[in-house]
Amino acid sequence: MPVRVFLSVGDISAGNYVYEIFREGFENFELVGITSEKLESIGVRSVAKVSELSVVGIAEVLPRLLEIRRIYRRALRELERCDVLLACDAPGFNLRLVRDARRVGVRKVVYFISPQVWAWKPGRAETIARFADHLVVILPFEVDIYKRFESEGFRVHYVGHPLVDMVKPSVGREKFLNLVGSEEEPVNLMPGSRWGEVRRHTPILREVVNMLRNRVESFVLPTFEEFRGFLEDSFRGFPVRVLTDRELSSPAYNSMFYSKLSLIASGTSSLEASLALNPHLVFYRVSALTYLLAKLLVKVRHVSLPNLILGEEVVPELINRPPSELARIALKLLESESKRELMRERFMELRHRLGGEGVIQRLRSLFKELLELT
């Protein structure tokens, strides 16, 4: 009988990584779990959707607690019939699932993508080491964090970051600029991948566009189709071209490769832009409560992954800052080719630190080995 694996994927980025790794070579495994449309397209049977768990911020998650609890009970019932749990990121949900997995008879637990224990809640590292058999990390400095927990019952693995292979354009520069309707490289706007982020950040970006429109010919905004109507209405009358996969595949990656500068809501997109050698700044807006608690609890100097990996602020970080400051920093970068070139040079170093080409295949081979029961 095939090994039955429960995939617990808690956000869109993790789901994309799992899709790339598992889309070939896992025909001998039966896959079920918390999924995205991509994961379902390669045969993963869905118990719940990633979008149902994808919430950021302490204040933001409170209204969703009952729904998340229902999903958890559904996942646990399915887990009772599985041999292996592969928990991907989402520590608020997955650390509890990892603890309960042994109780319901799961024979092996693999954790993929460490929680940000280097930023806050360092005790989560010990929890993973106690209840998981293997941890696969995707950031180089995380290996040292977990090495002290290694034993016969727990191993940590690092073969690189999957985005090194994934971040690629799907069209050429000329075709992209024709699609955008501009002769010059546009400024790329990325308000986030969740509805809450899009609603919070769109008014901010609208003000920024208004401040820059006399100096910038065009803007592009890659997003998901479900956000198109809201964003097109929000930017009506402004030189902003909203793109989804209805126009071309990988609209975000193309926009990163062929834009002069990006304004990016903090998250995985900052790392993706760096791998595309795209100069950018990072911004974010959260509730006053979430911001206050984060200031008290977070233990790192930087919020952007490129800055964390490189150990310095290469990418400007503007958290809960007014649109006027975003516009001011954006304009400084747009007017200085030397500043943008320096960022690109540091991003080349980042690619090297994240493992170089071939990470997806290395992860594919590793997971085939780790998910077997023998």
Task: Tell me which residue of 128, 127, 132, 8 sits closest to 68, measured CA to CA.
Answer: 8
Tell me the β-bridge partners of 318: 283
Question: Is residue 167 assigned to a domain?
Answer: no
Residues 177 and 153 in one domain: no
Residues 202 and 347 in one domain: yes
Residues 136 and 215 in one domain: no
Q: What is residue 303's predicted lDDT score, i.e. its pLDDT?
A: 83
Q: What is residue 54's predicted lDDT score, i.e. its pLDDT?
A: 58
Euclidean distance between the first and the last CA atom of the chain, given in angstroms as a whole number: 13
Residues 276 and 288 in one domain: yes
Could you read off the pLDDT of 120-151 as tens digits, one per residue? Answer: 788 999 999 999 999 999 999 999 999 999 99
Lowest mean pLDDT among 62-66, 113-117, 203-207: 62-66
Question: Is residue 254 assigned to a domain?
Answer: yes
Could you read off the pLDDT of 164-221 as tens digits, one per residue? Answer: 999 999 999 999 999 999 989 999 999 998 888 999 999 999 999 999 999 999 999 9
Residues 349 and 361 in one domain: no
Residues 364 and 343 in one domain: no
Residues 106 and 134 in one domain: yes
Residues 33 and 157 in one domain: yes
Distance CA 293, CA 336 (A): 36
Residues 189 and 322 in one domain: yes
Residue with tokens 């950031």, as numbered in its chain:
139
Residues 152 and 16 in one domain: yes
Could you read off the pLDDT of 321-366 as tens digits, one per residue? Answer: 999 999 999 999 999 999 999 999 999 999 999 998 999 999 999 9
Could you read off the pLDDT of 304-327 as tens digits, one per residue? Answer: 999 999 999 999 999 999 999 999
Residues spanned by the domain of 116: 3-161+356-371
Question: Is residue 166 assigned to a domain?
Answer: no
Total of domains in the chain: 2
239-246 CB contacts, 8 Å cutoff, 24+ apart = 239/209, 239/213, 240/189, 240/209, 241/179, 241/180, 241/181, 241/182, 241/186, 243/179, 243/180
Q: What is residue 299's predicted lDDT score, i.e. its pLDDT?
A: 61
Tell me the β-bridge partners of 151: 154
CATH of the domain at 108: 3.40.50.2000
